[in-house]
Structure formats: C-alpha cells, structure tokens
Amino acid sequence: MSRIAGSSAEIAIGELRRRWVPSLSTGAAVLLGAIMPLVATAPLLPNLGFLMLITWRLVRPEIWPAQVALGFGLAADIVSGAPLGQSMLLWTLVFLGFDSLDSWLGVRDYWLDWGAAAAAILFHGLGVWYIALLMGSDTLLWIMVPQLVLSILAYPVAARLVLALDRWRLAR
Amino acid sequence: MAPPKNRRLGFSRRAHFGLFIGYVIAVGGALIAVLLLIVSIADPRGFSALRGAALDVTAPIGSAGRSVVGFFSGIGDGISNYFRAGSQNAELRGELEAARRELIRRQALEHENRRLLATLGLARATGDEVTVARIVGSTHDSPRRLATLSAGSAAGVAPGQPVRSADGLIGRVLETGRWASRVMLVTDGASNVPVRLVRDGTPALAVGRGDGTIELRTLEVGQNPFRRGDVLVTSGVGGLFPPNIPVALVTASEGDTAIARPIADPARMDFAIVQRIFQPAAAGPLELAPPQPPAPPVPGPPAAAATPHPGQQNNPRYQPALQQPQPGMIGRPGAAGPPR
C-alpha cells in the first residue's frame, strides 16, 4: 500500500476504517458469542463481547465515551438471551470505573491494564451470577471460577488481537 | 502507556460540558438498565417479541456450524475408545447381559401394563409429540444453562413444553421465536423437575446446579435413599413433564442430598423431541382456568318430595334442590354446595 493516498476515495475508505473498526470488531465479538454453535455443560468460555469491549477501552482510552457501553450492552442482551438490562448496566458501570481509574492514577502500563481488566472481569462475573440468582437460578458461586480464570488469562490474547487491529486501522 | 493528552480538556467550557453530558447519559442509561432488569426479573417473558426475533436471527447461523463441532468433539472420544478397547469390551459385555435380563423383565411388565390399562378402560394418549428439532447451541459464558432449539412457534413450540431426546429429559421450553426457541436444561439452576427413584419409587426433586450436574433433594427427612448408579425418572407430579422419562443417574451421595448427572447429554445429541405439556392446565396461571358456565336456575323441589324443615327455610344458604343431583350442581361445588 502506498503511504500517500492517491485519491479522495482512498482517503474516505481510510477514514471509515479508522472510525468503524473498533465498533465493528466489538459487535462481531458480541454476535460470535451469541451464535457460537457449541453446547456447553458449564460456564467456561470468556464473554467475547465484553472482553473485546474492555480491551479496546483499555488499549485506546480516547475512542469511546462511557455511554457507548450502553449500546453494546443492549445489543448483547438482545442477541445472547441474557435478561434485558444486564449487560447494559454492568458494562456501563465498568466503563465509568475505568474513567475514574484513569483520572485517579493518571498513568498506566500493560500490567495495570491487565489488573484493571481482571477487576472488571471479576466484577462482571459476580454481577452476572447475582442477576442469575435473582432470576431464580440457584447456583453456587464457584461454578463461575473456571470461566473467570480463563477470561483473565485471555486478556493478553485479546490485547494482541486489538493491537493488531489497531495497527491495521491506523495504517496508511 | 499514559492516558492520552486529549482526555484532559483544559479550560474549554464546551469540552467540559460535552464530557459532563456524556456522563449524565451513561449514568441515566445505567439507571434505565436497572429498570429494564427489574422488569426482566419480575416478568421473565416480558420482552418476548423482541427476544424471539433476535433468537430467530441468530439461530440459523448456529445450526450451520453445529456439525463441525460434533465432528471435533467426537475425535476425543474416538481416541480414548481406542486405548480403552479391552476393558471397555468386558464392561460392555457385562452391561449387555444385564440389559438383556432387564429387557425381558420390561417386556413382561409392558404386557401386564397393557392388560391392566385395557382392564381399566384407559387409553394411553398418543401423538404427544409437537416437533423434532436440532439443538444448535447453548449459553457458554453465563451461569444459566440455556440451549437454543431450531424450532419455534411456527412448529407449534410453546413456552413450558418438555423437551427430551431418545435417552432422556433435556429440559423445557423457556421462550420461543418464530423459528427458534430457548430451552432451559435440567442442569440449569432454575430448573426443578419432580422425579422418582426407579428402584423403589421414592419421590425427589431434581434441581440443576449450573455446572452440568443435578442435585437430588428427597422430600423425606431421614436417611438418604440414593445410591450410586440409581436412575431417576420423571414422576409426572406437577403436570408439566410426562411421567417415566429418564432424567438423571446418581454419581455421588452426600448428606441428605445426592449429586447426579443428566442421562441426556445435550452436548452429544443432535435431535430433541418437543412434547406437549402433560396436563395443559398445569402450565397456565391459576386465574386462567376456564370459568365454569353459570349454573342454570335450579328448579324448585317437586311439590311433595321434600318439605323443608321450617327453620331451614329461613337459612339463606339453604337450597332444597341440592339434596338430589341436578345438572347445575357439577359447576360450582365450593360456592353452592352444602356447608362443610
């Protein structure tokens, strides 16, 4: 690819890519989590949409204000069969928490990012479990442990994927 | 990486205002989400139209990929079977012997059962099958155990109907779209199935634990009736599940309860049978029971048949005609019957 845009069409395409790659990749992850043709006997896989969302948020803090989590959460609730409002609430709270963490610490590195992601994943897992409990699903908390551990370990993978997407997004 | 410079907004009043409005939207949205959540919890079938439509859109993609997953999860089985061939052979031979004996006993029982039913003049209801569909996916990132079924209200599937495979009970329908529906598996934490022990008929409740196992709660206090290897079938109590569908196999017994695993493993089966609700009246709320037609006016007593006692005539609840059977009597035994 030449480094200088040859035409206004190329510039427009580049602009679209810069603008929409984060949203589209997160939306694809949400949809993939909902339609994966897999029958699981216990919660095991990470919530792909949530993982992708917080990874984009941690890698690129400036692209999204807190309220985009509302829209993604609504979409995720509708397609995944979770009670309506669950992801809207939890994801927005996580984003607000990230914002306050940013203004409180002022500085972050990779390990702090991972720690923030781990805290968000734990909070999200607990919230999902508690809402299921309110819905009448009387389960023990420890059935969530394998999934939470796997999700926390999946953050570096998601971060590399997002960084690769980000490089492609901003390439010229 | 330090947070980027442009999140620090400097002294621009407009930028600060924009950020403030963003937070107002986020917090307000979170409050709306809480409201939606409360509605969802209070009325789980509330947004059924919206959720059914989403189910329709996402299910067909799942059904296309399911065969690939079946192939991959079959590989592991094939390899372990190869290595355990010898011991498995002996094991299977023993099982076959036991099964053959059991089969003969079952045939005798079946014959006796048919004869007894005929004696009683009962006919077993046939055609209780709504449709046969594929299980195309399940939740894998939430504590709920819900599966997606590739048939919906267009095929006659309705919430509450039991879903089974040839092996045993899978669960029951939770919500339906037009071409897809969501099934609550017996391992879900909100699933309660009345069961009984095949060995001696002890009633119990099979409650899912969310991790692929089932907890069996006996209804009797005292000793634990469950032994390892016991099979439990639905008892038909409650009217939702037809009786005698295999549900669970006891794997361990601890304290007053026992842990079992479901006999029908939804991860391994391709097809599920949706059945009619065993007793349809059990599915509806109590108020929706069909109202009885008002009783026709009760004819007066034949002139000389029953002359009431003078004191009884003053009693407003006294109805002389009820002393002999009348057509209107059947309708409302509680309201118009004699005081108990």
Which token pair is A151?
A: 């999700």
> A44-58, B79-93, B165-179: which has the minimum mean pLDDT?
B79-93
Between CA B258 and CA B194 the distance in angstroms is 15
Least confident of A17-26, A54-63, B84-93, B232-241: B84-93
**Res B68: pLDDT:** 54
**Residue-wise pLDDT tens digits, B5-62:** 455 566 777 777 878 888 889 999 999 999 988 888 887 777 777 888 888 887 766 5
Q: Which residues of A are less than 8 Å from B209 in CB distance?
A: 139-140, 143
Q: Which range is least confidently modeled, A74-83, A121-130, B220-229, B320-329?
A: B320-329
CA dist., res. B30 & res. A24, Å (int): 23
Q: What is the pLDDT of residue B72?
A: 52
Cβ contacts from A onto B, under 8 A: 198
Can you tell me the ipTM of this complex? 0.84
In percent, the amount of chain A with pLDDT more than 70 equals 97
* pLDDT in the model for residue A97: 94
Query: Of A149-163, B166-180, B209-223, B237-251, which gets the smallest average pLDDT?
Result: B209-223
Per-residue confidence (pLDDT) for residue B126, from 0 to 100 = 44
Q: Give chain A's residues under pLDDT 70.
A: 1-5
pLDDT at residue A130, rounded to an integer: 93
Sign of CA dihedral A152, B68, A30, A131: negative
- Give the pair of three-digit tokens for residue A50: 């949530």
Q: Identify the pLDDT of residue B125.
A: 47
**Which candidate from B7, B55, B61 shows the least CB-CB separation from A102?**
B7
CB of A1 within 8 Å of any CB in chain B? Answer: no
Strand partners, B203: B196
Residue with token string 């299910």: B59
Q: What local confidence, expressed as pLDDT, does residue B234 receive?
A: 92
Of A150-154, B188-192, B313-317, B325-329, where does mean pLDDT reach its minimum?
B325-329
Q: What is the pLDDT of residue A148?
A: 94
Q: What residues of chain A lie within 8 A of the CB of B54, using their CB?
A: 78-79
Cβ separation A106–B27 shorter than 8 A: no
* pTM for this entry: 0.74
Over residues B163-192, the mean pLDDT reads 90
Please state, in angstroms and rounded to a whole number, the distance separating the CA atoms of residues B230 and A103. Answer: 59
Find the mean pLDDT for residues B69-91.
66
CB B165 within 8 A of CB B155: no
Q: What percent of chain B has pLDDT over 70?
A: 69
A100: nearest CA in chain B?
B23
Determine, for residues A88 and B40 on separate chains, whether the beta-carbon distance falls below 8 Å. Answer: no
**Average pLDDT value for residue range B209-214:** 88
| A100's tokens | 């306050």
- Segment among B59-73, B75-89, B129-143, B198-212 with least mean pLDDT: B59-73
Residue among B6, B38, B138 whose CB faces A39 most closely = B138
pLDDT score, position A98: 93
Token pair in block for residue B160? 């509450």
Q: Output the pLDDT for position B15.
A: 75
How sure is the predictor about B65, in pLDDT bands with cuts at 50, 70 and 90?
A: low
Per the CB < 8 A criterion, the answer to whether B218 and B204 are in contact is: yes
B-chain residues near A70 (CB < 8 A): 25-26, 29-30, 33
- Cβ of A131 within 8 Å of Cβ of B188? The answer is no
Residue A4 DSSP class: S
Tens-place pLDDT, residues B108-118: 888 788 777 76
Task: Please say if the pLDDT value at position B322 is more than 50.
Answer: no
Torsion of CA B152, B155, B159, B165, to 10 degrees: -90
Distance from the A13 Cα atom to the nearest Cα atom in chain B, whole angstroms: 25
Please tell me the distance from the alpha carbon of residue A98 to that of residue B36, in angstroms, as a whole number.
Answer: 24
Taking only residues 244 to 273 of chain B, the set having a beta carbon closer than 8 angstroms to any beta carbon of chain A reads: 265-267
Confidence of residue B212 (pLDDT cuts 50, 70, 90): confident
Q: Are strands B169-176 and B162-164 parallel, antiparallel or unpaired?
A: antiparallel
Lowest model confidence (mean pLDDT) among B164-173, B259-268, B278-287: B278-287
pLDDT at A37: 78
Report the greatest alpha carbon distance in chain A: 61
Rounded to a whole number of angstroms, the distance between the first and last alpha carbons of chain A is 8
**B21 has a chain A CB within 8 A of its CB:** no
What's the distance, Cα to Cα, between the start and end of chain B in Å?
A: 81
Residue with tokens 């999902």: A128
pLDDT of residue B219: 77
Q: What is the pLDDT of residue A114?
A: 94
**Is the confidence at residue B88, as pLDDT, over 90?**
no
Collect all residues of chain A within an 8 Å Cβ-Cβ radius of residue B266.
39, 41
Which 3-state string (H, E, C) describes chain B? CCCCHHHCCCCCHHHHHHHHHHHHHHHHHHHHHHHHHHHHHHCCCCCHHHHHHHHHHHHHHHHHHHHHHHHHHHHHHHHHHHHCHHHHHHHHHHHHHHHHHHHHHHHHHHHHHHHHHHHHCCCCCCCCEEEEEEEEEECCCCCCCEEEECCCHHHCCCCCCEEECCCCEEEEEEEECCCCEEEEECCCCCCEEEEEECCCCCEEEEEECCCCCEEEEECCCCCCCCCCCCEEEECCCCCCCCCCCEEEEEEEEECCEEEEEECCCCCCCCEEEEECCCCHHHCCCHHHCCCCCCCCCCCCCCCCCCCCCHHHHCCCCCCHHHHCCCHHHCCCHHHHCCCC
User: Does residue B92 have a pLDDT over 90?
Assistant: no
